[in-house]
């Protein structure tokens, strides 16, 4: 049997596991998923070359940014894939996470100091860390898809709107979010995505979208596009389905199509 080891330094599975801080089981799993393709020596043992090491580093970096393994494989195998460009996108996520942690640490420190009478917190300071946490959670879960679909400028602008929200606006958005859940339950109970209850659902959802997108950025086409993204990704579907019930996201999107697609809500 011909030795197929790559030229240059190679590593056994144990050596690579130790060096990368992962496990041999994880490396085998990555191989099963097609994320790694180590060569085999004459003895049949895996040998990992420099390209394998580089690819593993990318896999682990993307995992640390919150990406699923299937998404990572799709990214690595996509036409025109650029590791540099992909990492730049995820660097934004890491920096957002860093800002969130710094804001939370500052909020906790000031809260403790206020409790001891050493400092006085403004209401804006009380909520800054919580807003950074909300931004980071949203970026981690949906940021990559949203940036690809709407562009970095739109997503960055939405994040800045959240940071700039006063306490009253923040509370109003949270209540509006819960109102959408309640109205979705009520509309689903009618079974009619074109009915009056569904129309009210769409109106609430539009208000919620505008609260984040800001004036001048809303359009029925963009709203419908957002709904289609809900259906295309199980994480988006789970947000509503887990809170309302099976197929809740499908009903919401059907209502969006009915009212926005027909132009009935354009002037509302």
pLDDT in tens, 17-71: 999 998 999 999 999 999 999 999 888 899 999 999 999 998 988 887 777 888 8
Q: Residues 79, 63: contact at Cβ < 8 Å?
A: no
pLDDT of residue 6: 47
Residues pairing with 48 in the sheet: 11
The token duo for 113 is 């100091």
Which is more confident, 63 or 185? Answer: 185
Task: Supply angle C-alpha 227, 233, 239, rounded to 5.
Answer: 75
Whether 141 and 229 have beta carbons less than 8 Å apart is answered as no
**48: buried, middle or exposed (CB in 10 Å: 19+, 13-18, 0-12)?**
buried
Q: How far is C-alpha 184 from the chain's CA centre?
A: 23
pLDDT of res. 148:
75
Q: Among 3, 28, 1, 34, which Cα is nearest to 13's?
A: 28
- Closest of 125, 88, 89 to residue 106, by C-alpha: 125
pLDDT over 50 (residue 267): no
Q: What is the mean pLDDT of residues 163-173?
A: 77
- 167-268 fold: Globin-like (1.10.490)
- The residue ranges of every structural domain in the chain are 13-76, 82-164, 167-268
- Of the candidates 67, 59, 65, 63, which has an alpha carbon nearest to the alpha carbon of residue 83? 59
**pLDDT at site 7:** 55
Q: Tell me how far apart the alpha carbons of residues 107 and 203 are, in angstroms, rounded to a whole number.
A: 35
Q: What is the pLDDT of residue 14?
A: 93
> DSSP secondary-structure letter at 143?
I
Q: Is it the case that residue 146 has pLDDT exceeding 80?
A: no
Which class in CATH covers the domain with range 13-76?
mainly alpha
> Mean pLDDT over residues 200-204, rounded?
95
Q: How far is CA 220 from CA 184, 206, 267, in A?
A: 19, 9, 10
Q: Quick check: pTM over 0.85?
A: no
Mean per-residue pLDDT, 132-153: 70
3-state secondary structure of 6: coil
Q: Where are the alpha helices (DSSP H) in the chain?
A: 13-20, 24-32, 50-64, 69-76, 83-115, 123-138, 144-150, 152-164, 167-190, 196-213, 220-232, 234-244, 248-261
The segment with the largest mean pLDDT, out of 42-46, 189-193, 210-214, is 189-193
């Amino acid at each position: 049997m011909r030795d197929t080891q790559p030229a240059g330094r190679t590593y056994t599975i144990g050596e690579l596991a130790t060096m990368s801080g992962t496990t041999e089981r994880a490396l085998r799993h990555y191989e099963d998923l097609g994320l790694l393709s180590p060569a085999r020596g004459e003895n049949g043992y895996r040998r990992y070359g420099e390209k394998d090491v580089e690819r593993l580093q990318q896999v682990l970096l993307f995992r640390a940014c919150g990406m699923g393994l299937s998404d990572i494989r799709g990214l690595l195998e996509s036409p025109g894939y650029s590791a540099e460009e992909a990492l730049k996108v995820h660097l934004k996520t890491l920096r957002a996470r860093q800002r969130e942690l710094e804001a939370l640490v500052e909020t906790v420190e000031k809260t403790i100091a206020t409790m001891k009478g050493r400092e006085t917190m403004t209401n804006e300071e009380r909520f800054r860390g919580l807003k950074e946490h909300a931004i980071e959670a949203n970026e981690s879960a949906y940021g990559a898809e949203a940036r690809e679909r709407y562009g970095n400028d739109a997503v960055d602008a939405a994040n800045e709107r959240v940071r700039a929200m006063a306490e009253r606006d923040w509370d109003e958005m949270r209540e509006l979010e819960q109102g959408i859940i309640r109205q979705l339950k009520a509309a689903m109970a009618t079974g009619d995505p074109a009915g009056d209850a569904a129309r009210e659902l769409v109106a609430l959802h539009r208000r919620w979208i505008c609260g984040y997108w800001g004036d001048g950025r809303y359009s029925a086409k963009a709203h419908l596009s957002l709904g289609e993204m809900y259906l295309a990704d199980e994480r988006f579907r789970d947000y509503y389905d887990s809170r309302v019930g099976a197929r809740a996201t499908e009903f919401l999107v059907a209502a969006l199509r009915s009212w926005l697609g027909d132009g009935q809500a354009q002037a509302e």
